[in-house]
Amino acid sequence: MSEEEIRLPEMRAGVIAAVQALADGEYQRRVWIDRIYPTPGYFDDFTLTFNILEDAAILDDPYAAIGKTLASEGEARALSALSDRLLRIIQEVGAESPDDAFLASPSWNGVIEAARSALALMTR
């Protein structure tokens, strides 16, 4: 399936942006923790990033998103692995924890790695 066949291309772009944020530890520290935003009026944090994936139904069942926001079973598999890591860390750290608690978790590098794998598939 090509990206032209994706039924929700704007939502896909949001999913890619969220995955890209999860794949970049430097961005997370700069934007989520230090609040150094790239432009005036810009905002991002872990909760917003997580909610984008949740709203796109990526976290519940990535395979159901094939053709809507995901282009292939490979993307769904990679997003499923990312979802597993995200849900696990939320359970470990606590959903209401501040962003720095997530980034300080020993499990956070696994989130970054899973996001990098998913991003590579989604942007190749």
**CA-CA distance, 59 to 64, in Å (whole number)?**
10
With 80 as the cut, is the pLDDT of residue 43 above it?
yes
> Is the Cα torsion angle 45, 46, 49, 55 positive or negative in sign?
negative
> Cβ(73)–Cβ(65) under 8 Å?
no
Angle (deg, nearest 10), helices 9-22 and 108-122: 140
In the structure encoding, which two tokens stand for residue 97, read together? 């924890």
What pLDDT is attached to residue 1? 56
pLDDT recorded at residue 117: 98
Give the pLDDT of residue 2: 56
Query: Which of 50, 43, 44 has its CA nearest to residue 15?
Result: 50
pTM value is 0.94
CB 11 within 8 A of CB 69: yes
Structural domain range at position 65: 3-122
Number of domains in the chain: 1
